Structure 1
Amino acid sequence: METLAHYLSIIIMSAFKFELGPFMALKEGLSVYESIILCFTGMMAMVILLAYGGSYIKEKFKSRPKKKKRKIFTKKNRLIVKIWRKDGIKGVAFLTPILFGPPLGMIIILTLGADKRQIIKYMFISAVMWSAVINITLFYFSTYIHAL
């Protein structure tokens, strides 16, 4: 039961802030393979949840009264538009785990209007790649850090 709680905590952490999942897994003493699978699972759970529940959430946000006007042209918004124009859904999906986080990356992609199948496909590729890269790098270098 305790192992399940550790697994769920890593999945939830990866669903919201992808980069922190591998650090939690390392701290919990999990293997690199377990960590890769759990981080991937967390990100894809958030992606699927927002891909299919995103339209409902979007409608709820639209129906809320607006408190004050927000700036449209911020540095972050300019960066997002630049990435979207240059690379489209592939670019945003590639940067989502390390730059935006799964929820914000999904909101960006859904707001800019992409097909759900394409979203899931590119987010799947991104999750597999970044999960492997971050976890293998962290677990490999952690042995050197502990040796110091």
Structure 2
Amino acid sequence: MFGIESLYSAEGMFTYALVFLLAATPWIEILVVIPAGIALGLNPLAVSILAFTGNLTTVYLLIFAYHQLSSAFEKRKSGENKKPPTKRKMKAIQIWNKYGLPGLAFISPMTVGTHFATFVALSFKSKKYMVTMWITLSIFVWTVIVTVLSYYGIESLKWMLG
């Protein structure tokens, strides 16, 4: 099993590959991977690019495969008793109702995750190109914010600790 703890024990180029893979993993994403990578002393630019690319790769795969995935979920759901929506789904619906696609895209990294937000946006019949645009913009903006805050936060901590 690999998780964020595997990043701490990795060495060399494998560490950068793990940054990509962990950022591509739903619910781990850039908010965890970027600070961890920078804290380990990895190159902040490389970490941010790999994390952005990793997260975006699986989101794009989800957008591309949405029709097939939704068909499979619908078939599975039709054979089950109706279950109440999960807390994560209820949170996504609340955000959607209040802020729409742009709001869901920009809040998703901190709340429900970009992968789940992408699936929800598509299930609400948003156009694929709009979902792609807003999620990509959101991941880019959050990558820049998290990278800058992580880098300067860690540098400030080093300076304070001497």
Report the TM-score when normalising by structure 1: 0.85
**Aligned structure 1 segments of 4 or more residues deviating by more than 6 angstroms:** none
In structure 2, the partner of 1:126 is 138
The answer to which of 90-99 and 2-11 deviates more is 2-11
Q: Which runs of structure 2 are paired with 1:1-148 in the superposition (5 Å)?
A: 3-15=12-24, 16=26, 17-18=28-29, 19-64=31-76, 66=79, 68-72=81-85, 76-146=88-158, 147-148=160-161
Q: Please give the root-mean-square deviation of Cα atoms over the aligned residues, in Å.
A: 2.1
* Partner-residue secondary structure (3-state), 1:30: coil
In structure 1, the partner of 2:3 is none
Q: What are the Cα deviations for residues 71-126 of structure 1, in whole angstroms up to 9, with x where unaligned?
A: 24x65444322321232110111112222222211121122121111011111111
% of aligned pairs identical? 23
The answer to which of 50-59 and 101-110 deviates more is 101-110
CA contact (8 A) 1:50 1:103 kept: yes
In structure 1, the partner of 2:4 is none
CA contact (8 A) 1:6 1:28 kept: no
Question: For structure 2, which runs of at least 5 residues remain unmatched after alignment?
Answer: 1-10
Task: Summarize the Cα distance change of 1:4–1:62 in structure 2 as closer, same or farther, 3 Å threshold.
Answer: farther
How far apart, CA to CA, are the structure 1 residues paired with 2:72 and 2:12? Answer: 36
Report the TM-score when normalising by structure 2: 0.78
Tell me how far 1:57 sits from its aligned partner.
1.3
CA contact (8 A) 1:109 1:119 kept: yes
Question: For structure 1, which runs of at least 5 residues remain unmatched after alignment?
Answer: none
Alignment length, in residue pairs? 146
The answer to which of 127-136 and 32-41 deviates more is 32-41
Task: Summarize the Cα distance change of 1:78–1:101 in structure 2 as closer, same or farther, 3 Å threshold.
Answer: closer
